[in-house]
Amino acid sequence: MAAVAQGTSLKSYLLTRLVLVVPMVLILLTFVFLLMRVAPGDPISAALGGHNVPQSVIDQIKHRLGFDKPLWQQYVEYLGNIFRGNFGTTITDQRPVSDIILTNGAATLELTFFAMIVALVVGVFVGLLAGRFRDTSVDVGGRMFGIVIYAMPVFFIGLMAQLLFGSVLGWLPTSGRASPITQATLQTHTNLFVIDSIYDRNWGALKDVMLHLILPAVTLGLVTAGVFIRLIRVNVIRTMKDDYIEAARARGIRERDVVYRHAFKNALVPVITVIGLSLALLLGGAVVTETTFNWPGIGHELVLYLENRDYSAVQGIVVVFGLVVVFVSLVIDFVNAFIDPRIRY
């Protein structure tokens, strides 16, 4: 996009970026629609799964869902509905997708938020050290840690953590968001259990919720940390070669200050971009984490609907995931533009 962004002010950069979201979202929506509609197989009979249902019932369901209209009309209605915030209704249990997002989305948000914190803390720490002490044993150890952590499937870390901390040591709960008692007594205002329990000053519930969060969040966070380690390490190495580092050294600034005050600060700016990029990884990982830990988030729901071959639910959830990614990457670009003027050119 060099043509539009050359030598522009912050305002026009942000505007162009904002305008570009429109085709991006359109392509995404069209892609999902085509995928779900053009793919072979009839969604209704798939959802009914071989049960002997009379044709009249099938036609009725088809009519209710609008599958009997011509394709272009379905497409226009689909776009219109999403524009109005209506992501459809599931076929199997006739639940609005927006309802799934509000209740189960909170669980996913809670999980991914804490996972991101774990990933940032571990990733930044190990990545900076590995880059700073390049080619020493610290670097080799840090990189091996990064590679092996990245090589571990989410469910493997999850299962091993469940075995160790759940079955063998018995320290932590391995399934669900809270114990049944907490779930029954906790007033839900936002569906974010951590916030709800703090709001009600229900410290017993808070402890219970946090204990349930530890294993899933650390599992998902560690996997994501692998990406951070790799990128931050390369960034530190690149920054250490920059002229201004040399200049700082030439001015007689102590090596420690050069590294910690000059190099690290600049090496960490791209982390914001990485957060955006790793979001896709995090959301994908969340689907597996939620399944492993029986965490009632969107991913967990998605897998259930996939098993029931519910096309509408799958379509709605996938669209929401896509929109979240587009929106977050927009925010990240905005933040980046404010922080680092170089990006605008």
Partner 1 sequence: MAIPVQPIESPFRRRARGLGRAVGPIREARGFPRLMLYIGAGITLLFVLLALLAPVISPYDFDQYQSGGHRFPQLASPSSGHWMGTTVQSTDVMSRVIWGAQTELKVVFISLVFAITVGVPLGLLSGYFGGKLDRGLVLVMDALYAFPYLLLAIVIAFLLSNSIGKGVLTAAIAISATYVPLYFRVVRNQVIALREESYVEAARALGAKPLTIIRKYVFHNVVQNVPPIATLNAADAILLLTALGFLGYGIQPTDAAEWGYDSSRAVSDAASGIWWTALFPGIAIVLLVTGLTLVGEGLNETMNPVLRRRRVQRVNFDQEPEPPIVEAVEGS
Q: Sign of torsion, CA 51 52 55 56?
A: negative
Long-range CB contact pairs, 321-324, < 8 A, 24+ = 321/283, 322/28, 322/29, 322/32, 323/25, 323/28, 324/279, 324/283
Note whether 224 binds partner 1 by CB under 8 A: no
Q: Which of residues 171-210 bind partner 1 (CB under 8 A)?
A: 174-175
Token pair 């690290």 in the structure block, residue? 264
- The residue type found at 173 is P
DSSP-H helix ranges across 133-242: 137-151, 154-161, 180-185, 193-199, 203-240
Window of 89-97, 113-121, 188-196, 232-240 that interacts with partner 1 by CB under 8 A: 232-240
Cβ contact 298:105 at 8 Å? yes
What x-and-dash track marks residues 308-337 binding partner 1 by CB under 8 A? -x----x---x--xx--xx--x--------
Window of 78-86, 262-270, 281-289, 337-345 that interacts with partner 1 by CB under 8 A: 281-289
Cβ contact 206:234 at 8 Å? no
In angstroms, what is the minimal distance from the CB of 64 to partner 1?
A: 22
Note whether 46 binds partner 1 by CB under 8 A: yes
Window of 29-37, 69-77, 211-219, 267-275 that interacts with partner 1 by CB under 8 A: 29-37
Note whether 19 binds partner 1 by CB under 8 A: no
Of the two residues 186 and 298, which places its CB atom closer to partner 1 in the complex? 298
Residues in the chain: 345
Neighbouring CB atoms inside 10 A of 236's CB total 24
Alpha carbon distance 105, 103 (integer Å): 6
What x-and-dash track marks residues 90-129 binding partner 1 by CB under 8 A? ----------------------------------------
Note whether 70 binds partner 1 by CB under 8 A: no
Q: Sign of torsion, CA 295 296 301 307?
A: positive
Window of 56-64, 202-210, 262-270, 307-315 that interacts with partner 1 by CB under 8 A: 307-315
Note whether 274 binds partner 1 by CB under 8 A: no
Of the two residues 150 and 198, which places its CB atom closer to partner 1 in the complex? 150
Note whether 69 binds partner 1 by CB under 8 A: no
Cβ contact 58:44 at 8 Å? yes
Window of 53-61, 85-93, 159-167, 204-212 that interacts with partner 1 by CB under 8 A: 159-167
Candidates 75, 125, 145, 155: give the one binding partner 1 (CB under 8 A): 155
Neighbouring CB atoms inside 10 A of 329's CB total 18
In angstroms, what is the minimal distance from the CB of 303 to partner 1?
A: 6
Window of 103-111, 197-205, 253-261, 298-306 that interacts with partner 1 by CB under 8 A: 298-306
CA distances from 320 to 28, 234, 263, 289 (A): 11, 33, 39, 19
Cβ contact 29:37 at 8 Å? no
Binding-site ranges for partner 1 (CB under 8 A):
23-24, 27-28, 31-32, 35-36, 39-41, 46, 135, 139-140, 143, 147-148, 150-156, 159-160, 162-163, 166-168, 174-175, 234, 237-238, 241, 279-281, 283-285, 287-288, 291-292, 302-303, 306-307, 309, 314, 318, 321-322, 325-326, 329
